[in-house]
Chain A
Amino acid sequence: MARLELQRVSKLLANRQVVLQDIDCTVNDGELISVVGPSGCGKSTLLRCVAGLDKITSGDIRIGGQRVNDLPPQQRNVAMVFQNHALYPHMTVYQNLAFGLRVRRVARAIVDARVRRTAVRLGLEALLGRYPRELSGGQRQRTALGRAMLREPGVFLLDEPLSSLDIPLRAEMRRELSALHTALGTTMVYVTHDQSEALSLGQRVVVLADGQIQQIDTPDGIYKEPSNRFVAGFVGWPPMNFLDGDWLENSGLDAHCIDYGIRPERLLLQPSSSADAFIAGRLERIESFGGEWQVEISRNGSRVIARVAPNPELRRDNELRLWFRREDLYAFDRATGRRLQG
């Protein structure tokens, strides 16, 4: 177990393209932090830098207080679960799990005991003799996880470990991962491009875009207090609506140099108080999700989505008003995207 500190970490490629820029982040001992961002923003590179698979251009990485910049992966006391599992295709599940211990010359009897204990914990005991190609996606996932667990690392790095699984299995593995973290108490960095996964799993969340940290906060903090327009639009589903001047012409708000945003679940069919404002547009689309509807209204070609309770009175192509409380509006500086408070 160890604390992971990144100080002004930057990574440039040979062609001087910046992949990571001034990453400052501390993951506390035993904390599960998730890193989320769009494809290509540098998430995998960040993990590979921590693992020692890629060299950083500048900055410092410390694991358990020790500066590891110049240590090879073998000596960094980290374990990594790869996006595509990266199991050894020519080894059985047992051999895959045992490899790291065998490499470190742990006695055979101890290896055997630990492999079997981990296999039981992950429900792999019946599969120990199988080869990776004979496993389902979930079983491969568990094997990759087991292999990393057996290292008993100071820091656990997970690179989109669930992305290759189907949705029900993903939810199940997510719960298992969470339980596993509670049981192991290991420092974990969990990378995903799925914002809901990041929020549900991480004790804190790092939002990354274009190789730069946009915000580090608790899931609640990220959701309620996004620090800029990017985070606000990236976190939450459906994404936050951004309202340009047209939408707000009868609200009395100053839309000059300011972008306003509102989350779809904060738009209401009825005003909750006399102070509420509304936006109005033509009802374009109603999508039913069982207990909830998503409705889309449009005005001059721009669209707004709201999540509302099912309401049989709504008619397509009618004018619809959506009400909101003024304090639910988010304001962003149009030039910088930074969130404006108050």
Chain B
Amino acid sequence: MSAKGVLVRVSTYAALIVMALATLFPLLWVTSIAFMRAPERFAGTPPLWPDHPTLVNMVNIVHQQRIGYYFLNSLIVAAATTPLSVLVAGLAGYALAQAKFRAHRLVSWIVMFAVLVPNQALVLPLFEMFSAVHLINHYAALILPAAANAVSIVLIQAYARGIPADVLDAARIDGASEWRTFFSVVVPLMAPMLAAVAVLTFVVSWNDFMWPMIAMQKVDMQTLPVALASIDREHYQNIGLMAAGATVAILPMMFVFLASQRYYLRAVSAGSLTD
């Protein structure tokens, strides 16, 4: 390798390492704070590393704050939202990309428009709607609005355009119904993008704050981010407790991302769909 090549490589890696550290540092610090004793956490800026590691914050957050309860609420909502949303976006995105139907252009425009509408603008109408059907304080209030996600549809539509039309026609001639073609041919070909959308949906659902706060007014039904925010309000400046909550909240996302990393990266780096 030439001297210039080495230089380029070294500076690329240096930049990547700096960015990785900048991203990871707050996560590591929060995790570290979660294991600190009370005196340390009152010493102004907390140190980077606990002198005497302790589980007291973890025990507190689990026992006193019943964090497991809220964790479960979040998990139920995210676990139900993700497959539902992927299915809806998969069908809609594929149809918009490959099917010929009359209102095609109109529907495409509506979806594109929906991408532009900020979530905050939806809170009020959503609340009216879900109140009207008495679903406030039900999991459905969080799951249903997330089931049709315009961004996911647009992502999948763009990816599904790459499926060769002849391959779909071949399946039809082979005798496959439209559903069979979708599940046996389209879904496997879109797998990387479906996985990416699944991860995205899970993370968005897990972190969602505003709508869950409004839709889940019973404490029992609150999701983790909402519950953590109220801990902050009740135990002002108990940084250790907050950090422990945040650490617990990070875990499933770490898990989801690591488990799907392979597919996720393939979609982001846009693999080719043709043989």
Contact = CB atoms under 8 A, between A and B. Distances in A.
A78 B169 CA distance: 12
Given A72-B172, A78-B173, A132-B275, A84 B166 contact: yes
B167 A80 contact: no
Contacts of A73: 169, 172-173
Nearest to B169: A53
A55 B186 CA distance: 23
Interface stretch (B16-24, B108-116, B177-185): B177-185
Nearest to B180: A103
Interface residues of A, number: 28
Given A99-B184, A103-B180, A86 B170 contact: yes
A88 B273 contact: no
B172 A74 contact: yes
A208 interface: no
Contact of A89 (B169, B171, B173, B275): B275
Contacts of B171: 88, 99
A87 B275 contact: yes
Contact of A80 (B173, B184, B185, B189): B173
B188 interface: yes
Interface string A108-134: 000000000000000000000001110
Contact of B189 (A72, A89, A103): A89
Nearest to A135: B275
A59 interface: no
Which 10 residue pairs are nearest across A and B when measured between Cβ atoms?
A86-B166, A100-B174, A132-B275, A89-B275, A86-B170, A90-B188, A73-B172, A103-B175, A82-B166, A103-B176
29 contacts: A48-B169, A51-B169, A73-B169, A73-B173, A74-B175, A74-B176, A74-B177, A80-B170, A80-B173, A82-B166, A82-B169, A82-B170, A84-B164, A84-B166, A85-B275, A86-B169, A87-B167, A88-B167, A88-B171, A89-B167, A89-B275, A99-B176, A99-B184, A100-B175, A103-B175, A104-B175, A133-B275, A147-B174, A151-B173
